[in-house]
Structure 1
């Protein structure tokens, strides 16, 4: 029987932090990496990825759920709400209620639904308010996964992800090694063999306080200030981005080849 994985969500699932020029939107990410493993394990696997960076939960629900359900997937990955958590005024109870409504719809399809906790990054005291919201969100996601029979990938419990090498410079998105580890984690969770080779992480040596202060200042200038400015303007990267794989593909055919074919088809049109 042909199986179909449809990935739904935001930048976490689109693959931001794992750049690759030969993939749609110039990013690869854990979901594409997982899809390649699925295709190697069984060429009949199909895959679609509807996720778009910077989308809030309600946008994911409005723009992606109907499309995902219409594809009649056997497996659905669902992660949304992370961008809502970045807002200080987020109503967490309301967010989790809307999350549950979406999860119930997906579970009602009969597909195997895969959900994730969000990693509570602890790299700077500036993110302490975010960490507390993330932890509360994770408690809710764990409870809702159990209630609706979803498969939980408990990202927050894998403390290996505290290693800086697994995170992009913005400290919000995973890096290439982080996405690779997530692909392996999801494959292991759903019981699909994979050939992903994960390098050992070199022990992280803490910086002295002067260097730590310089790094923190650079982080604030390069990442925090631009993020705040974008949110104040109400402009987001995802406003002009299309889904990477809106219609199912067979990853076994080679995803770079399929991406090049899609670009060629657009040029011909």
Structure 2
């Protein structure tokens, strides 16, 4: 693992606020929503030299700088599975009527003795179908390879499998995928929080930057 002292200002994968705002100039979105689990919530321990916000709040701040009328809703819950998201988070989401919507990527669905990947795909598909019906631009992450649950010897393969499901559904439903599985930050010794599961705020800053970059591409594609 790479052990380097850095800060948000010197991190090559981060964006300062001015650069992030410039990238999203002309963003059309005024109703930004996030559903899912602790990854969607932006949970993580503080890292010296980095801001304390999770990635979704960072992205909302950038969007609000571009669109001061932005409405933002995050109904994510720590520990939520895709089933939990479907059963308990969709009603407030649909009432909110987002035009930009972030979806979870099945992290808690694979934390069980024998995950049923067929069922995981079916449940995620239900979520994507409901999300697509809102008309919102959809985004999601893939799970990083640094995220490890040692009690499961096949954990790395579980992550690969659920990421493949997410990529397939995203392609089918037109969602933007921010692929974090092979991102260089997975090699950083300070990436994970003390629980060795959640990205620390250094990772949250990078997640936010990669989301902004992906949204900038979406804006440019629709401007052509």
Both structures adopt the same fold (TM-score exceeding 0.5): yes
- How far does residue 96 in structure 1 lie from its aligned partner after superposition? 1.0
- How far does residue 121 in structure 1 lie from its aligned partner after superposition? 2.3
**1:7–1:31 Cα contact (<8 Å) kept:** yes
* Structure 1 gap ranges (5+): 21-26, 193-269
- The 2-side partners of 1:187 and 1:2 are apart by 13
**2:145–2:182 Cα contact (<8 Å) kept:** no
Structure 1 ranges of 4+ moved more than 2 A? 120-128, 159-162
Is residue 16 of structure 1 aligned with residue 37 of structure 2? no
Q: Please identify which structure carries the higher helix content.
A: 1
- How far does residue 164 in structure 1 lie from its aligned partner after superposition? 2.0
The structure-2 alpha-carbon separation of the partners of 1:58 and 1:2, relative to structure 1 and needing over 3 Å to count, comes to closer
SS class of match (1:155): coil
Is residue 78 of structure 1 aligned with residue 103 of structure 2? yes
- The 1-side partners of 2:211 and 2:128 are apart by 18
- How far does residue 162 in structure 1 lie from its aligned partner after superposition? 2.5
- The 1-side partners of 2:45 and 2:199 are apart by 7
What is the aligned counterpart of 1:136 among 161, 164, 179?
161
**2:30–2:67 Cα contact (<8 Å) kept:** no
- The 2-side partners of 1:74 and 1:111 are apart by 4
The structure-2 alpha-carbon separation of the partners of 1:2 and 1:106, relative to structure 1 and needing over 3 Å to count, comes to closer
Is residue 109 of structure 1 aligned with residue 134 of structure 2? yes
SS class of match (1:9): coil
TM-score relative to the length of structure 1? 0.64
**2:149–2:155 Cα contact (<8 Å) kept:** no
Aligned ranges 1:7-46 → 2 under 5 Å: 7-18=34-45, 28-46=53-71
SS class of match (1:76): strand
Greater Cα radius of gyration, structure 1 or 2: 1
**1:60–1:80 Cα contact (<8 Å) kept:** no
**2:141–2:180 Cα contact (<8 Å) kept:** yes
Please tell me the root mean square deviation across aligned C-alpha atoms, in Å. 2.2
The structure-2 alpha-carbon separation of the partners of 1:3 and 1:122, relative to structure 1 and needing over 3 Å to count, comes to closer
- How far does residue 119 in structure 1 lie from its aligned partner after superposition? 1.3
Match of 2:220 in 1: none
Match of 1:214 in 2: none
Match of 1:179 in 2: 204
Q: Deviations over 1:51-95 (max 9, x none)?
A: 010111111111101211221110000114211211121101111
**1:153–1:189 Cα contact (<8 Å) kept:** yes
* Structure 2 gap ranges (5+): 1-27, 218-224
